[in-house]
Homo-oligomer: A and B are copies of this chain.
Amino acid sequence: MQFNEYYNGRTGLTVGVNKVLFSEETPYQKVEILETDTWGNMMTIDGMVMLSEKDEFVYHEMLAHVPMFAHPKPRRVLIIGGGDGGTAREVLRHPSVEHVDMVEIDEAVVRAAKQYLPDVGDFDNPKLHVRFEDGITFVEKVSDPYDVIIIDGSDPVGPAVELFSESFYRNCYNALTPQGILSSQTESPWVPSYHPAIRKLFQSLDTIFDVSRMYLAYIPLYPSGMWSLAYASKGLHPHDPEVLDRVVKGTTSMDDSLRYYNPEIHQGSFALPGFVREILR
């Protein structure tokens, strides 16, 4: 059996599947776990790859460590989405972290991940608080602000479409501490149908935040293999000398767990090809 995900006409990814381990139509989306021939177990939502056991480290390290190392001392962290647990796992490697709220709309994602992606999450960690709520409304009523907010949602169709709206990012800004930093996944620059959503999202970040930048990561099971992410802050530039110093020191003490992120990647991933810059214009 083959899994196919198309992203541009009939171009896309094809993956060999041994069997379907989990398949559920939830109130929000269709969640599936497929046992693949070479990537371990793989989660899809509405037919789009979210992660596989073999490649998830790229996405989770890049989404979590760029904002986490940029912040001088992240104590309280909010993750919107991220139900597979991988982003929280990377966040929890930072010793300053005291409290992580993970707000996942769909409990089925967490349930499937706990059963079929047992090494991805760190759900027994007492610092992690999983809430099955809508992240959009959650950020409207935050009273105790966060040092870092990470938007780990799926593609801008279905329940995740509001995760690309300006009002959502304005609420995130208000839910951040004065040195607060945000990161978000922002789709592939090679998928033409996402260009308007990407442009609008970065225009919103540019309006709301003091610093906003796109960065990139190589994710083999995501459309085209080129994935964009957003960094936004209330002042700290991702390449500020104090940030780069923290990255060098922090990655040295975390080295065994890091398989993608490192100080050179922290800098180099912000280099954007000309055709990607064009999308943002």
How far, in whole Å, are A39 and B173 apart by their CA atoms in the complex? 39
CB neighbours (8 Å) of A225 from chain B are 218, 220, 224-226
| 4 other A-B residue contacts (CB within 8 Å) besides A10-B37, A216-B218, A262-B274 | A6-B14, A11-B13, A14-B14, A265-B273
Determine whether the beta carbon of A273 is less than 8 Å from that of B267.
no
A268 CB–B CB distance under 8 Å: yes
Q: Is the CB of B275 within 8 A of A271?
A: no
| B13, B36, B39, B273: the one within 8 Å of A218 (CB) | B273
Interface membership of chain A positions 5-25, coded 1 if the CB is closer than 8 angstroms to chain B and 0 otherwise: 010111111111000000000
| Interface stretch of the complex, out of A102-110, A139-147, A253-261 | A253-261
Report B-chain residues with C-beta under 8 Å of the C-beta of A8: 38-39
A4 part of interface (Cβ distance < 8 Å) = yes
| Minimum Cβ distance to chain B for residue A96 (Å) | 23
Residue of B10, B13, B264, B270 near A16 (CB, 8 A) is B10
Give how many A residues have a beta carbon under 8 Å from the other chain's beta carbons. Answer: 42
Sorted nearest first, the 3 A-B pairs with minimum C-beta distance are A225-B225, A10-B16, A268-B271
A165 interfacial contact with B, CB 8 Å: no
A272 CB-CB contact with B under 8 Å: yes
**Which residue of chain B lies nearest to A273 when distances are taken between CB atoms in the complex?**
B260
Output the least CB separation between A42 and chain B (Å).
10
Sampled A-B contacts (29; CB under 8 Å): A2-B10, A9-B36, A9-B38, A10-B16, A10-B37, A11-B13, A11-B15, A12-B14, A218-B218, A218-B224, A218-B226, A220-B225, A225-B225, A225-B226, A259-B273, A259-B274, A259-B275, A260-B273, A260-B274, A261-B273, A264-B270, A264-B271, A264-B272, A265-B271, A265-B273, A267-B268, A268-B268, A268-B271, A269-B271
